[in-house]
């Protein structure tokens, strides 16, 4: 089981041809370090592909997801500082829902 304690959303796009080493280098450049049990989420410029790099303390995992239609709802503007997500927000983001309104009880809410 992969344990994830913190989720960070990168605002700057990542080339989806990037492998684990390139994604790890981007994490270090963007976030300063790669923390154990932390997931780093990246999208491409068109926001129809996503990669998640997870550091589990023993190595790294790199997962990817592609939408056949539509786009992932990403942070605006696409440049700037780090955005931290909770697990409910990550679940909403992965399926293409507006993660900014995801509540802890997995309900999309505008409050």
pLDDT tens, residue by residue, 9-42: 988 899 999 999 999 999 999 888 999 999 999 9
pLDDT tens, position by position, 37-63: 999 999 999 989 999 999 988 899 999
Q: Is the pLDDT of residue 109 over 60?
A: no
Q: Which pair of structure tokens corresponds to residue 48?
A: 């129809």
DSSP notation for 39-108: EEEEE-TTSSEEEEEEE-SSSEEEEEEE-SSS-----SSSSSS-EEE-HHHHHHHHTTS-GGGB-TTS-B
Q: Which stretch of 37-46, 56-65, 82-91, 102-111 has the lowest confidence by average pLDDT?
A: 102-111
């Amino acid at each position: 089981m992969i344990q994830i304690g913190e989720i960070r959303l990168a605002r700057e796009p990542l080339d989806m041809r990037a492998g684990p080493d390139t994604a790890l280098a981007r994490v270090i450049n963007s976030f300063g370090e790669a923390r154990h049990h932390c997931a780093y989420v990246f999208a491409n410029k068109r926001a129809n592909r996503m990669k998640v790099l997870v550091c589990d303390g023993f190595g790294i995992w790199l997962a990817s997801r592609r939408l056949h239609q539509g786009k992932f709802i990403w942070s605006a503007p696409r440049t700037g500082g780090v955005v931290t997500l909770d697990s409910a927000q990550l679940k909403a983001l992965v399926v293409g829902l507006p993660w900014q309104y995801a509540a802890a009880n997995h309900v999309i809410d505008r409050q």
